[in-house]
Structure 1
Amino acid sequence: MGIVGKIVGGTIGFALGGPLGAIAGAVFGHAFDSSEESGLQGRSGNLSGIEQTQLAFFVSTFSMLAKLAQADGQVRNEEIDTIEAFAVRDLKLSPAEREVALNIFRAALSSPARFEDFALQFYQRFQNNHQMIEMMMDILVRVSVADGVVNRAEEALLLHAVRIFQMGEQRYRQIKSRYTATENQAYEVLGCRPEDSDEAIKKRYRTLAQSYHPDKIAGKGLPDEFIDLAHEKFREIQKAYETVKQERGLR
């Protein structure tokens, strides 16, 4: 069962604090009220450390996506459709989980907190876990590109996240190139350049394959709901390396 199912099913007593905590309290407090009305019995207790980390990632995702959608001052129906498609197609959330995700999205739209407030709290929690930070950046870019238009306001917020996450604009461009056709896309996925040596590319691949194995990043707090995305990223790394190997005749 994913973190959302555990919470809605009755596990209470989380303490994220800050703007993310305010969003979680508003959304899951309502979920608990609904559960009680429907006859589900709650149980008291606290989330474990890993569960709080998973909750922080889940709430951060849909809170930052909300502020991205709101970047130009209005939220278009197409943007809401993109968020729903991401929840269903990419995360494969159940109807109940999808509703929770959309409730987080709506609560963040109404929140006085800014995009950078959510991004900073996320970074403070995950600053020693570069895989989780890159997963978040990948998600923000993926959803921003999905509706076919990344306007200047959205781009400005994405670059602001890059600075908060201390990622570097080159890595951001490499992530963005995964979702836009480029001549050297396989190299970009690996974070390499065509002029890099064979050994450098092999070393980079080994590092990525080890770092982004789904089992490994799940153990660092990636919510179960995002595991399919981790598998997709892992397959993408493998496919890119196979492409480069064929081009170079590597064994």
Structure 2
Amino acid sequence: MVWGKVIGALAGYLFLRIPGAIIGALIGHWFDRGMAQDFTRKGGFGQFLFGADKAVDDANFLYTLFAVMGHLAKAKGRVTKQDIEQTTMLMDRLRLAGDARSEAQDAFREGKQAGFPLEKTVKDFRDAFYGNRDVLQLFMEQLMAMALNDGVLEKSEHEVLVTVGKSLGFTRFQIDQWLMMQKAAFRFHQRQHQHQHEGQRQKTTSADELEDAYQILGVKAQQSDAEIKKAYRKLMARHHPDKLASKGLPEEVMKEAQERARDIQAAYDTIKNKRGMR
């Protein structure tokens, strides 16, 4: 964490030039150190994270993710078995154990409570990541996966997703477009899993599967090969681990983005094979 040092140095320079900058940087350093220690002392998310400099961002992402997931699950009126399983699986994939897992569970329960300040929590999260759209879109993808865990998006869930999306700075059109892509990915993934489970090798691509593949990439069948390839490359670049690492995401969270990247790759391969693209 370095922002305390930067701001302190700038403020000091404005008043006392070079000596003031030095004093301000020292004061800022003490502030940064204290903030990092606060998260380290928490034991849970703080111990799970990868160093003091990333502690605040990592803990913020994980807390907000599980709290909003709890709120989204409760929006239907009751938390279902699928909601619990989806949340537990995510904790497993993130390798949350001990205190870190307890804090994630506490965040989920907090999000379920009546009066949970959804918009404020989400806006604070957006500000913590300086409105970085790649990080915020990945956050939305995680919530959409939660909402679609049973293959059905209820009106109350859609309303929560729209509220969260708008609080993050996205438009309703963008949110609905991503939902369409996520729904297609859910169906596509289900078919792929079914083929593997049944030990089948699919020699032909059904019309429904091909349509889902186009929707995963956010393109239409009548678009050119060049346009489809451009959309594919843009989506893959957005989910590239090196790029996401530079945005301040927790390392384990980036693995979730790789799951999405695999669906994008499978959809592109389906389209490419069908069209004979090189």
Q: For this structure pair, what is the TM-score category when the shorter chain's length is used for normalisation?
A: 0.7 to 0.9
Residue 76 of structure 1 deviates from its aligned partner by 4.1
Equivalent in the alignment of 2:159: 156
Secondary structure in structure 2 of the residue aligned to 1:206 = helix
Distance 1:78 1:187, change over 3 A: closer
Q: Distance in 1 between matches of 2:131 and 2:107?
A: 25
Secondary structure in structure 1 of the residue aligned to 2:187 = coil
Amino acid at match of 1:188: Q
Equivalent in the alignment of 2:187: 180
Q: Distance in 1 between matches of 2:238 and 2:79?
A: 36
Higher helix share: 2
Aligned residues: 217
- Structure 1 gap ranges (5+): 1-10, 16-23, 35-41
**Partner of residue 59 from structure 1, selected from 57, 60, 63:** 63
**Partner of residue 134 from structure 2, selected from 131, 135, 138:** 131
Is 2:82–2:149's contact at 8 Å kept on the other side of the alignment? no
Distance 1:162 1:196, change over 3 A: farther
Scaled by the length of structure 2, the TM-score of the pair is 0.67
Q: Distance in 1 between matches of 2:233 and 2:76?
A: 40
- Structure 2 gap ranges (5+): 1-32, 189-207
Secondary structure in structure 2 of the residue aligned to 1:150 = coil
Residue 205 of structure 1 deviates from its aligned partner by 1.8
Q: Distance in 2 between matches of 1:114 and 1:142?
A: 22
Is 2:40 the counterpart of 1:13? no
Q: Distance in 2 between matches of 1:199 and 1:77?
A: 43
Q: Distance in 2 between matches of 1:250 and 1:115?
A: 45
Alignment of 1:90-105 (within 5 A): 90-105=93-108
**Partner of residue 178 from structure 2, selected from 156, 159, 171:** 171
Measured against aligned partners, the alpha-carbon deviations of 1:59-80 in whole angstroms (never above 9, x if no partner) come to 1100110111121343345533
Is 1:12–1:47's contact at 8 Å kept on the other side of the alignment? no
Q: Distance in 1 between matches of 2:239 and 2:86?
A: 25
Equivalent in the alignment of 1:236: 263
Equivalent in the alignment of 2:145: 142
* Greater RCO structure (CA 8 Å; 6+ sep): 1
Equivalent in the alignment of 1:122: 125
Specify the structure having the higher radius of gyration (Cα).
2
Is 2:143–2:161's contact at 8 Å kept on the other side of the alignment? yes
Q: Distance in 2 between matches of 1:233 and 1:248?
A: 23
Q: Distance in 2 between matches of 1:111 and 1:104?
A: 14
Equivalent in the alignment of 1:20: none
Equivalent in the alignment of 2:22: none
Equivalent in the alignment of 2:115: 112
Alignment of 1:213-232 (within 5 A): 213-232=240-259
Is 1:87–1:98's contact at 8 Å kept on the other side of the alignment? yes
Is 2:266 the counterpart of 1:207? no
**Pairwise CA RMSD of aligned residues?**
3.0
Is 2:235–2:264's contact at 8 Å kept on the other side of the alignment? yes
Taking only the aligned residue pairs, the percentage that are identical comes to 29
Is 2:236–2:264's contact at 8 Å kept on the other side of the alignment? yes
Scaled by the length of structure 1, the TM-score of the pair is 0.73
Q: Distance in 2 between matches of 1:202 and 1:105?
A: 39
Amino acid at match of 2:67: S
Distance 1:128 1:200, change over 3 A: farther
Q: Distance in 1 between matches of 2:136 and 2:261?
A: 16
